[in-house]
Amino acid sequence: MLKVYLAGPEVFLPGGRELIDRKREALAEFGFAPTRRHADFMERDEKDPRAFGEEISRLNEELMDDADLCIANLTPFRGISADVGTVFELGYMIAQGKPAYGFTNDPRDYSVRATDYFGSATIESGRLVSPDGEMIEQHGMADNLMIDGGISHRGWSLQRAQTTPETMWTDLSAFRRVLTIARDQLHNREHHDDAQ
What residue ranges bind its own copies (CB under 8 A)? 11-14, 16, 44, 46, 49-50, 52-58, 60-61, 78-85, 87-96, 114, 117, 126-127, 132-141, 143-150, 152-153
Q: Tell me the C-alpha to C-alpha distance, in Å, between residue 98 and each of 65, 89, 171, 176.
A: 10, 12, 26, 19
Nearer to its own copies, 30 or 106 (CB): 106
Reduced to 3 states (helix: H, G, I; strand: E, B; else coil), residue 48 is: coil
Write the DSSP symbol of residue 108.
Answer: S
Work out how close the CB of 157 gets to its own copies at its nearest, in angstroms, rounded to a whole number: 13
Q: What are phi and psi of 41, to 5 degrees?
A: -90, 5
Nearer to its own copies, 52 or 187 (CB): 52
Q: Give the span between the Cα atoms of 151 and 160, in whole angstroms.
A: 14
Work out how close the CB of 31 gets to its own copies at its nearest, in angstroms, rounded to a whole number: 26
Q: What single-letter amino acid sits at 16?
A: G
Work out how close the CB of 117 gets to its own copies at its nearest, in angstroms, rounded to a whole number: 6
